[in-house]
Amino acid sequence: MERQKKRTRRANGETAIYFGKDGRWHARVPMGYKDNGEPYRRHITRPTEDALKDEVKRREKQRDQGTAQQPGKLWTVEKWLCHWVENIAKDVVSENTYDGYEVAVRVHLVPGIGKHRMDRLEPEHLESLYRRMQKNGSKPATAHQAHRTARTALGEAVRRGYAAKNAAALAKPPRMEGDEDEIEPYSVEEVQSLLIAVNKRRNSARWMLALALGLRQGETLGLRWSDVDLDNEYLKLRRNRLRPKYAHGCAEASPCGRKAGYCPKREQVRRETKNTKSRAGRRAVPLPGPLVVMLRAHREAQALERAKAGNLWTPSDYVFTKPLGGPLSPNTDYHDWKKLLGDAGVRDARLHDARHTAATVLMLLGVPDRVIDQIMGWEPGTSSRMRARYLHVPDAMLKDVARKIAEAIWGPPEKLPVDKDQDNEG
Protein backbone atom coordinates (compact mmCIF):
# COMPACT_ATOMS: atom_id res chain seq x y z
CA MET A 1 0.00 0.00 0.00
CA GLU A 2 1.29 3.42 -0.91
CA ARG A 3 2.30 5.69 1.94
CA GLN A 4 -0.13 8.54 2.53
CA LYS A 5 1.25 11.54 0.68
CA LYS A 6 -1.39 14.18 1.10
CA ARG A 7 -1.27 16.93 3.73
CA THR A 8 -2.83 16.00 7.06
CA ARG A 9 -4.84 18.77 8.69
CA ARG A 10 -3.67 19.38 12.26
CA ALA A 11 -5.05 21.39 15.13
CA ASN A 12 -3.48 24.72 16.04
CA GLY A 13 -0.26 24.20 17.98
CA GLU A 14 0.49 20.81 16.41
CA THR A 15 3.19 20.03 13.86
CA ALA A 16 1.96 19.47 10.29
CA ILE A 17 3.85 16.76 8.35
CA TYR A 18 3.30 16.13 4.63
CA PHE A 19 4.93 14.77 1.47
CA GLY A 20 5.58 17.49 -1.11
CA LYS A 21 5.47 17.60 -4.88
CA ASP A 22 9.26 17.93 -4.84
CA GLY A 23 9.55 14.36 -3.58
CA ARG A 24 10.66 15.38 -0.08
CA TRP A 25 8.99 15.26 3.32
CA HIS A 26 8.06 18.59 4.92
CA ALA A 27 6.99 19.76 8.38
CA ARG A 28 5.72 23.02 9.86
CA VAL A 29 6.70 23.09 13.53
CA PRO A 30 5.02 25.66 15.84
CA MET A 31 7.86 27.43 17.66
CA GLY A 32 6.08 30.24 19.50
CA TYR A 33 5.17 33.78 18.60
CA LYS A 34 6.83 36.69 16.84
CA ASP A 35 7.35 40.08 18.46
CA ASN A 36 4.07 41.30 16.96
CA GLY A 37 2.13 38.41 18.48
CA GLU A 38 1.72 36.36 15.32
CA PRO A 39 2.36 32.58 15.59
CA TYR A 40 5.68 31.42 14.22
CA ARG A 41 6.25 28.04 12.52
CA ARG A 42 9.56 26.62 11.45
CA HIS A 43 9.63 24.92 8.03
CA ILE A 44 11.76 21.75 7.90
CA THR A 45 12.36 19.40 4.96
CA ARG A 46 14.12 16.02 4.75
CA PRO A 47 14.37 13.30 2.08
CA THR A 48 12.74 10.60 4.25
CA GLU A 49 9.86 10.58 6.71
CA ASP A 50 11.93 9.01 9.49
CA ALA A 51 14.67 11.64 9.17
CA LEU A 52 12.04 14.38 9.23
CA LYS A 53 10.34 13.02 12.35
CA ASP A 54 13.70 12.85 14.16
CA GLU A 55 14.36 16.50 13.31
CA VAL A 56 10.84 17.49 14.34
CA LYS A 57 11.34 15.85 17.74
CA ARG A 58 14.62 17.73 18.20
CA ARG A 59 13.06 21.10 17.34
CA GLU A 60 10.03 20.48 19.55
CA LYS A 61 12.35 19.59 22.43
CA GLN A 62 14.28 22.84 21.94
CA ARG A 63 11.00 24.75 21.88
CA ASP A 64 9.70 23.10 25.04
CA GLN A 65 12.99 23.68 26.89
CA GLY A 66 13.16 27.31 25.77
CA THR A 67 16.47 26.88 23.93
CA ALA A 68 15.16 27.31 20.37
CA GLN A 69 16.30 30.37 18.44
CA GLN A 70 13.63 33.04 18.21
CA PRO A 71 12.32 34.23 14.83
CA GLY A 72 13.76 37.31 13.19
CA LYS A 73 16.85 37.37 15.43
CA LEU A 74 19.61 35.92 13.26
CA TRP A 75 22.40 37.68 15.09
CA THR A 76 25.99 37.71 14.03
CA VAL A 77 28.43 37.36 16.91
CA GLU A 78 29.61 40.95 16.37
CA LYS A 79 26.08 42.36 16.41
CA TRP A 80 25.15 40.46 19.57
CA LEU A 81 28.39 41.26 21.47
CA CYS A 82 28.10 44.99 20.73
CA HIS A 83 24.42 44.98 21.71
CA TRP A 84 25.11 43.00 24.87
CA VAL A 85 28.04 45.07 26.13
CA GLU A 86 26.35 48.44 25.55
CA ASN A 87 22.69 47.75 26.24
CA ILE A 88 22.68 44.87 28.73
CA ALA A 89 25.96 44.52 30.65
CA LYS A 90 26.64 48.24 31.01
CA ASP A 91 23.63 48.82 33.25
CA VAL A 92 24.10 45.84 35.57
CA VAL A 93 27.86 45.55 36.25
CA SER A 94 30.39 47.86 37.87
CA GLU A 95 32.35 50.38 35.83
CA ASN A 96 35.56 48.38 36.18
CA THR A 97 33.87 45.15 35.09
CA TYR A 98 32.29 46.93 32.13
CA ASP A 99 35.69 48.29 31.07
CA GLY A 100 37.09 44.75 31.00
CA TYR A 101 34.12 43.49 28.97
CA GLU A 102 34.33 46.39 26.52
CA VAL A 103 38.04 45.91 25.84
CA ALA A 104 37.64 42.14 25.37
CA VAL A 105 34.75 42.66 22.93
CA ARG A 106 36.32 45.49 20.93
CA VAL A 107 39.95 44.37 20.82
CA HIS A 108 39.69 40.56 20.72
CA LEU A 109 36.25 39.01 20.24
CA VAL A 110 34.75 41.13 17.46
CA PRO A 111 37.88 41.06 15.24
CA GLY A 112 38.40 37.36 15.99
CA ILE A 113 34.94 35.75 15.75
CA GLY A 114 32.56 38.62 14.98
CA LYS A 115 31.69 37.53 11.42
CA HIS A 116 30.22 34.18 12.47
CA ARG A 117 26.50 33.74 12.78
CA MET A 118 25.40 33.03 16.32
CA ASP A 119 23.77 29.73 15.39
CA ARG A 120 26.94 28.57 13.63
CA LEU A 121 29.54 29.53 16.22
CA GLU A 122 31.44 26.50 17.48
CA PRO A 123 33.82 26.00 20.44
CA GLU A 124 36.65 25.42 17.96
CA HIS A 125 36.26 28.98 16.64
CA LEU A 126 36.95 30.36 20.11
CA GLU A 127 39.83 27.98 20.79
CA SER A 128 41.40 29.05 17.50
CA LEU A 129 41.04 32.69 18.58
CA TYR A 130 42.78 31.99 21.89
CA ARG A 131 45.70 30.36 20.09
CA ARG A 132 46.02 33.31 17.70
CA MET A 133 45.96 35.74 20.62
CA GLN A 134 48.84 33.95 22.32
CA LYS A 135 50.75 33.65 19.06
CA ASN A 136 50.44 37.43 18.67
CA GLY A 137 51.87 38.01 22.14
CA SER A 138 48.83 38.09 24.43
CA LYS A 139 49.27 36.52 27.85
CA PRO A 140 47.10 33.53 28.85
CA ALA A 141 45.33 35.80 31.36
CA THR A 142 44.23 38.06 28.50
CA ALA A 143 42.80 35.10 26.62
CA HIS A 144 41.03 34.03 29.81
CA GLN A 145 39.46 37.48 30.10
CA ALA A 146 38.20 37.21 26.51
CA HIS A 147 36.91 33.70 27.28
CA ARG A 148 35.02 34.81 30.40
CA THR A 149 33.50 37.73 28.51
CA ALA A 150 32.37 35.50 25.63
CA ARG A 151 30.94 32.92 28.05
CA THR A 152 28.92 35.57 29.87
CA ALA A 153 27.68 37.27 26.69
CA LEU A 154 26.74 34.04 24.92
CA GLY A 155 25.12 32.70 28.08
CA GLU A 156 22.78 35.69 28.02
CA ALA A 157 22.03 35.02 24.33
CA VAL A 158 21.06 31.43 25.17
CA ARG A 159 18.90 32.59 28.08
CA ARG A 160 17.01 34.93 25.75
CA GLY A 161 16.61 32.33 23.04
CA TYR A 162 18.92 33.95 20.48
CA ALA A 163 21.30 30.97 20.45
CA ALA A 164 20.73 27.28 21.07
CA LYS A 165 24.07 26.70 22.82
CA ASN A 166 26.86 28.59 24.54
CA ALA A 167 29.94 27.82 22.46
CA ALA A 168 32.22 29.55 24.99
CA ALA A 169 30.97 27.29 27.81
CA LEU A 170 32.09 24.31 25.72
CA ALA A 171 35.40 25.81 24.60
CA LYS A 172 38.63 25.19 26.52
CA PRO A 173 40.60 28.33 27.44
CA PRO A 174 44.41 28.18 27.34
CA ARG A 175 46.17 26.66 30.31
CA MET A 176 47.47 29.16 32.82
CA GLU A 177 51.13 28.76 33.63
CA GLY A 178 50.62 28.47 37.38
CA ASP A 179 51.06 32.18 38.08
CA GLU A 180 49.22 31.85 41.39
CA ASP A 181 51.53 29.05 42.51
CA GLU A 182 54.54 31.31 41.97
CA ILE A 183 53.31 33.98 44.38
CA GLU A 184 55.61 34.23 47.36
CA PRO A 185 54.31 36.39 50.21
CA TYR A 186 56.75 38.75 51.86
CA SER A 187 58.58 37.40 54.89
CA VAL A 188 58.40 39.12 58.26
CA GLU A 189 61.92 40.48 57.62
CA GLU A 190 60.81 41.96 54.28
CA VAL A 191 57.72 43.51 55.87
CA GLN A 192 59.96 45.09 58.53
CA SER A 193 62.20 46.51 55.79
CA LEU A 194 59.13 47.97 54.13
CA LEU A 195 58.00 49.41 57.47
CA ILE A 196 61.30 51.30 57.81
CA ALA A 197 60.90 52.76 54.31
CA VAL A 198 57.19 53.44 54.84
CA ASN A 199 57.84 55.59 57.91
CA LYS A 200 59.81 58.02 55.72
CA ARG A 201 56.93 58.52 53.28
CA ARG A 202 53.73 60.50 53.04
CA ASN A 203 50.55 58.42 53.55
CA SER A 204 52.64 55.77 55.33
CA ALA A 205 49.63 54.14 56.99
CA ARG A 206 48.18 53.39 53.56
CA TRP A 207 50.78 50.69 52.92
CA MET A 208 50.54 49.13 56.35
CA LEU A 209 46.78 48.65 55.85
CA ALA A 210 47.70 46.51 52.86
CA LEU A 211 50.54 44.57 54.48
CA ALA A 212 48.98 44.06 57.92
CA LEU A 213 45.29 43.70 57.09
CA GLY A 214 45.24 42.76 53.41
CA LEU A 215 42.93 45.58 52.33
CA ARG A 216 42.37 45.78 48.58
CA GLN A 217 43.56 48.88 46.75
CA GLY A 218 40.04 50.10 46.03
CA GLU A 219 38.99 49.57 49.65
CA THR A 220 41.95 51.54 51.01
CA LEU A 221 41.67 54.46 48.58
CA GLY A 222 37.90 54.64 49.13
CA LEU A 223 38.26 54.74 52.93
CA ARG A 224 36.82 57.85 54.64
CA TRP A 225 37.49 59.19 58.12
CA SER A 226 33.83 58.59 58.96
CA ASP A 227 34.55 54.86 58.48
CA VAL A 228 37.46 54.87 60.97
CA ASP A 229 36.96 54.56 64.75
CA LEU A 230 40.39 55.04 66.30
CA ASP A 231 39.06 55.11 69.86
CA ASN A 232 37.58 51.61 69.52
CA GLU A 233 40.38 50.51 67.16
CA TYR A 234 38.48 49.32 64.11
CA LEU A 235 37.40 50.54 60.68
CA LYS A 236 34.41 49.80 58.45
CA LEU A 237 34.82 49.00 54.77
CA ARG A 238 31.82 50.15 52.75
CA ARG A 239 32.99 51.42 49.37
CA ASN A 240 35.66 51.02 46.68
CA ARG A 241 37.60 53.68 44.79
CA LEU A 242 37.07 53.49 41.03
CA ARG A 243 39.61 54.24 38.33
CA PRO A 244 39.03 57.76 36.98
CA LYS A 245 37.63 58.11 33.47
CA TYR A 246 37.73 61.38 31.60
CA ALA A 247 36.13 63.02 28.57
CA HIS A 248 37.42 65.96 26.57
CA GLY A 249 36.35 69.34 27.89
CA CYS A 250 37.82 71.30 25.00
CA ALA A 251 35.58 72.57 22.22
CA GLU A 252 35.15 70.45 19.10
CA ALA A 253 36.10 73.47 16.99
CA SER A 254 39.51 73.66 18.69
CA PRO A 255 40.44 70.18 20.00
CA CYS A 256 43.54 69.89 22.15
CA GLY A 257 44.84 66.90 20.16
CA ARG A 258 45.60 64.88 23.30
CA LYS A 259 43.99 61.85 24.85
CA ALA A 260 41.00 62.63 27.05
CA GLY A 261 42.96 61.97 30.24
CA TYR A 262 45.52 64.63 29.30
CA CYS A 263 43.10 67.25 28.02
CA PRO A 264 43.73 70.57 29.86
CA LYS A 265 39.96 70.92 30.31
CA ARG A 266 39.22 67.26 30.94
CA GLU A 267 35.98 66.32 32.67
CA GLN A 268 35.49 63.43 35.08
CA VAL A 269 32.74 61.18 33.73
CA ARG A 270 32.88 58.43 36.34
CA ARG A 271 31.90 58.54 40.00
CA GLU A 272 34.79 58.39 42.46
CA THR A 273 33.60 55.40 44.50
CA LYS A 274 30.95 52.70 44.48
CA ASN A 275 29.45 50.82 47.37
CA THR A 276 30.91 47.40 48.06
CA LYS A 277 28.68 44.99 46.14
CA SER A 278 28.89 41.94 48.40
CA ARG A 279 27.77 41.48 51.99
CA ALA A 280 31.18 40.00 52.87
CA GLY A 281 32.92 43.05 51.41
CA ARG A 282 31.00 45.35 53.80
CA ARG A 283 32.79 44.48 56.99
CA ALA A 284 34.47 45.72 60.14
CA VAL A 285 38.22 45.16 60.47
CA PRO A 286 40.20 45.41 63.75
CA LEU A 287 43.14 47.81 63.88
CA PRO A 288 46.40 46.73 65.60
CA GLY A 289 47.67 49.23 68.16
CA PRO A 290 50.71 50.42 66.14
CA LEU A 291 48.45 51.02 63.12
CA VAL A 292 46.11 53.13 65.27
CA VAL A 293 49.13 55.24 66.23
CA MET A 294 50.10 55.59 62.57
CA LEU A 295 46.57 56.66 61.59
CA ARG A 296 46.43 59.26 64.37
CA ALA A 297 49.75 60.70 63.18
CA HIS A 298 48.50 60.60 59.60
CA ARG A 299 45.34 62.55 60.52
CA GLU A 300 47.44 65.25 62.19
CA ALA A 301 49.77 65.47 59.17
CA GLN A 302 46.78 65.76 56.85
CA ALA A 303 45.37 68.61 58.96
CA LEU A 304 48.69 70.48 58.62
CA GLU A 305 48.65 69.94 54.84
CA ARG A 306 45.10 71.27 54.66
CA ALA A 307 45.99 74.38 56.68
CA LYS A 308 49.09 75.02 54.57
CA ALA A 309 47.21 74.60 51.25
CA GLY A 310 44.44 77.00 52.26
CA ASN A 311 42.04 77.69 49.38
CA LEU A 312 43.96 75.29 47.13
CA TRP A 313 42.85 72.31 49.23
CA THR A 314 40.15 70.08 47.68
CA PRO A 315 37.73 69.25 50.51
CA SER A 316 36.92 65.59 51.06
CA ASP A 317 36.60 63.05 53.85
CA TYR A 318 39.10 60.60 52.32
CA VAL A 319 41.70 59.15 54.66
CA PHE A 320 44.35 59.14 51.93
CA THR A 321 44.50 62.11 49.59
CA LYS A 322 46.70 63.91 47.12
CA PRO A 323 48.99 66.63 48.52
CA LEU A 324 46.27 69.22 47.85
CA GLY A 325 43.36 67.02 48.90
CA GLY A 326 40.96 64.96 46.82
CA PRO A 327 41.08 61.20 46.33
CA LEU A 328 44.23 59.39 45.26
CA SER A 329 44.33 57.91 41.75
CA PRO A 330 44.80 54.11 41.66
CA ASN A 331 47.44 54.58 38.95
CA THR A 332 49.45 57.00 41.09
CA ASP A 333 49.05 54.66 44.05
CA TYR A 334 50.44 51.76 41.99
CA HIS A 335 53.57 53.71 41.00
CA ASP A 336 54.07 54.81 44.62
CA TRP A 337 54.06 51.13 45.62
CA LYS A 338 56.74 50.30 43.06
CA LYS A 339 58.89 53.17 44.28
CA LEU A 340 58.43 52.01 47.88
CA LEU A 341 59.73 48.55 47.00
CA GLY A 342 62.80 50.07 45.39
CA ASP A 343 63.50 52.38 48.34
CA ALA A 344 63.15 49.47 50.78
CA GLY A 345 65.42 47.20 48.71
CA VAL A 346 62.68 44.56 48.61
CA ARG A 347 62.01 42.30 45.61
CA ASP A 348 59.43 43.46 43.12
CA ALA A 349 55.86 42.16 43.44
CA ARG A 350 52.30 43.18 42.65
CA LEU A 351 50.47 45.42 45.06
CA HIS A 352 47.90 42.63 45.39
CA ASP A 353 50.65 40.33 46.72
CA ALA A 354 50.58 42.37 49.93
CA ARG A 355 47.11 40.88 50.40
CA HIS A 356 48.59 37.37 50.14
CA THR A 357 51.16 38.39 52.76
CA ALA A 358 48.50 39.55 55.21
CA ALA A 359 46.42 36.40 54.78
CA THR A 360 49.46 34.19 55.37
CA VAL A 361 50.44 36.12 58.53
CA LEU A 362 46.91 35.66 59.91
CA MET A 363 47.24 31.91 59.33
CA LEU A 364 50.64 31.76 61.02
CA LEU A 365 49.19 33.56 64.04
CA GLY A 366 46.57 30.85 64.38
CA VAL A 367 43.62 33.17 63.67
CA PRO A 368 40.44 31.07 63.16
CA ASP A 369 39.32 30.61 59.56
CA ARG A 370 36.04 32.42 60.14
CA VAL A 371 37.86 35.50 61.42
CA ILE A 372 40.32 35.39 58.50
CA ASP A 373 37.35 35.27 56.10
CA GLN A 374 35.84 38.39 57.67
CA ILE A 375 39.07 40.38 57.70
CA MET A 376 39.80 39.47 54.08
CA GLY A 377 36.21 39.99 52.96
CA TRP A 378 35.65 36.55 51.44
CA GLU A 379 32.15 35.27 50.69
CA PRO A 380 31.08 32.23 52.76
CA GLY A 381 30.50 30.11 49.65
CA THR A 382 33.99 30.78 48.28
CA SER A 383 36.02 31.17 51.47
CA SER A 384 37.62 27.71 51.39
CA ARG A 385 38.70 28.21 47.78
CA MET A 386 40.05 31.68 48.55
CA ARG A 387 42.00 30.39 51.55
CA ALA A 388 43.59 27.74 49.34
CA ARG A 389 44.56 30.47 46.89
CA TYR A 390 45.82 33.09 49.33
CA LEU A 391 47.29 31.21 52.29
CA HIS A 392 50.88 30.20 51.55
CA VAL A 393 52.83 27.80 53.75
CA PRO A 394 56.36 29.13 54.32
CA ASP A 395 59.37 26.81 54.03
CA ALA A 396 60.13 27.25 57.75
CA MET A 397 56.69 25.90 58.65
CA LEU A 398 57.18 22.90 56.35
CA LYS A 399 60.55 22.16 57.97
CA ASP A 400 58.98 22.34 61.41
CA VAL A 401 56.27 19.86 60.33
CA ALA A 402 58.95 17.53 58.94
CA ARG A 403 60.80 17.68 62.28
CA LYS A 404 57.65 16.81 64.21
CA ILE A 405 56.90 13.86 61.89
CA ALA A 406 60.45 12.58 62.33
CA GLU A 407 60.18 12.77 66.11
CA ALA A 408 56.81 11.01 66.12
CA ILE A 409 57.99 8.10 63.95
CA TRP A 410 61.70 7.76 64.65
CA GLY A 411 61.85 9.39 68.06
CA PRO A 412 63.81 12.49 69.15
CA PRO A 413 67.21 12.86 67.51
CA GLU A 414 70.14 11.63 69.56
CA LYS A 415 72.38 14.31 70.98
CA LEU A 416 75.91 14.35 69.65
CA PRO A 417 78.47 13.25 72.30
CA VAL A 418 80.52 16.06 73.74
CA ASP A 419 84.32 15.68 73.59
CA LYS A 420 85.34 16.25 77.19
CA ASP A 421 88.92 17.13 76.24
CA GLN A 422 87.64 19.75 73.79
CA ASP A 423 85.22 20.99 76.40
CA ASN A 424 88.08 21.52 78.88
CA GLU A 425 90.18 23.50 76.42
CA GLY A 426 90.43 27.22 76.96
CA distance 251 to 395: 61
| Averages of pLDDT over each 10 residues, the chain, 426 residues | 47 79 90 72 89 88 70 79 93 84 95 91 95 91 93 91 88 70 73 86 89 88 93 88 80 80 79 70 85 93 94 93 91 92 90 83 77 80 67 58 61 60 50
Q: What's the fold here for domain 200-381? A: hpI Integrase; Chain A (1.10.443)
Residues 376 and 357: beta-carbon distance below 8 Å: no
CA–chain centroid gap for 341, Å, is 26
Residues 247 and 267: beta-carbon distance below 8 Å: yes
Q: Which one-letter amino acid corresponds to residue 394? A: P
Predicted local distance difference test score (pLDDT) of residue 58 = 86
User: Helix or strand or coil: residue 361?
Assistant: helix
Residue 38, classified by CB atoms within 10 Å of its CB into exposed (0-12), middle (13-18) or buried (19+), is: exposed
Predicted local distance difference test score (pLDDT) of residue 378 = 80
Q: Where are the domains of the chain?
A: 1-72, 77-170, 200-381
Predicted local distance difference test score (pLDDT) of residue 301 = 94
Residues 75 and 162: beta-carbon distance below 8 Å: yes
Predicted local distance difference test score (pLDDT) of residue 97 = 85
Predicted local distance difference test score (pLDDT) of residue 69 = 62
Pick from 342, 317, 338, 318: which is nearest to 328 by CA?
318
Angle at 397 between CA 198 and CA 404, to 5 degrees: 155
CA–chain centroid gap for 168, Å, is 17
* Whether CATH 1.10.150.130 fits 77-170: yes
Predicted local distance difference test score (pLDDT) of residue 228 = 94
Predicted local distance difference test score (pLDDT) of residue 86 = 93
